[in-house]
Amino acid sequence: MAELLTSCRFYFEADGVAEKQILEVAGLSVESPVAGDGGVLGSGKGGVKLRQATPTNEKFTNVTVKVIATTDLDLYRWYQDCNTNDGGASSWSENRRAASVSAYDQAGNMQARWEVINAYPCKYEGPQFTAGDNNMANETLEIVHEGIKRVQ
C-alpha cells in the first residue's frame, strides 16, 4: 500500500536558497488544454459536425509557496535579484533556479518530490504582524516557471 502524505513535513528549496519549511503550497499543476475547446470545428456533407479533441501546449500555473519566516534573507534576495530593474537591466533570466517541493514522513524519509524547472519569483510578500497574534511570521513567494515534474 502506498504511503499516505498526511502529517508529513513539507519543504521548499531552490539552488542557493536554504531549505524552508512549508506552511502552504498551491499551484503545483499542469494541464494540456484541448484545441478548439471541445467545440464544433466545422461540418461536412450532410451537415455532419466535425469535432476533434487534440491536446495543445502544456499550461502551467504559478506556484505559490508560504514558508515560515526566518532570519535568512535568501528568499527576498532571490526576488530582488530577479526583479530589480535599474535602467532597464533586469537579471531575472540569469537567476532562474531549479526548485522543489518535498514531503517527508514522520521517520524523516522522503516520500514525494515535485521539481519546478527554471523557476524565478515574480512576487514576494512579507509577514503581517498583529499585536496579540501568536502565530509564526511567514513569507510568501509566487514563482513563475517552465514546468513541473513529479519525480518521487
Q: What is the pLDDT of residues 74-89, one digit of tens each?
A: 999 999 888 876 655 5
Residue 125's domain comprises 9-27+62-150
Angstrom distance (rounded) from CA 102 to CA 112: 6
What distance separates the 2 farthest-apart alpha carbons in the chain? 73
Q: How confident is the model at residue 140 (pLDDT cuts 50, 70, 90)?
A: very high
pTM for this entry? 0.79
Residue type, 110: M
* Among 52, 55, 70, residue whose Cα is nearest residue 11: 70
The answer to whether position 103 is within a domain reads: yes
Q: What phi and psi, each to the nearest 5 degrees, are found at residue 113?
A: -150, 135
Q: Kindly state whether residues 86 and 105 are assigned to the same domain.
A: yes
